[in-house]
Structure formats: structure tokens, C-alpha cells
Amino acid sequence: MAEIWYLEMGTKTLDNEEKHDRPFLECVELLEIKPQGLSSEIGVIPDLYTGDPFVDIGGRITICLRVFQAELDGIDDNRWKPGWYKSGVTVIGLAKKLKLNAK
């Protein structure tokens, strides 16, 4: 299973962070991620700062996907790599998508 994480800017450790497990291809659709969107390697928590002080000052939460090689072994598209992918979907947007998928 791939892991969906809700991470705040400046996150240094995954202890006490919220996580959901879902199949990788479902995550790709839910989070609207692309293979070229690899943010960092598996063991490196992504840098979530945008460089825009007006955005960064709020310490917003970013939804990130962490995928391991085992989850990619069954995928025919070899452009996907293990690691972290940042999603442009907001927390509220993901909640709406999950609610619609549950129906």
C-alpha cells in the first residue's frame, strides 16, 4: 500500500503524523500526482516550503504520498519511482473526494 500523509511545513519526523494506506493507483487518481512529480527519496521527508512568504507564514498542511518499490513492482509504467510525491490537492479537496468515492 502507498501512504498518504498530511504534513505541516517544517515536518522533521513522521512520529504522530496522520497517515492513510491505499493502493498506489488509487492514490495517483485521488492526489492527482504525476511520475515527474517525485519530490524526495523514501527516507527524506519533503521540503514543503513554497518560497512565497505569504503562503509559508501560515505553516500550511500539504498532502504527500510515500510509495515504496514493492507497491510499484506491479505497475507497468516505469516512470514511477519510490519516494515522496507532493499533491496539489488540499486537505478539504481530498476529504470531498474520499466522501464521493465512499458512495
- Is the per-residue pLDDT at 103 higher than 70? no
The arithmetic mean of pLDDT across residues 45-70, rounded, is 87
Q: How confident is the model at residue 78, as a pLDDT? A: 92
Q: How confident is the model at residue 59, as a pLDDT? A: 72
pTM: 0.88
DSSP 94: H
Strand partners, 83: 67
The arithmetic mean of pLDDT across residues 17-35, rounded, is 92
Lowest mean pLDDT among 28-32, 54-58, 71-75, 79-83: 54-58
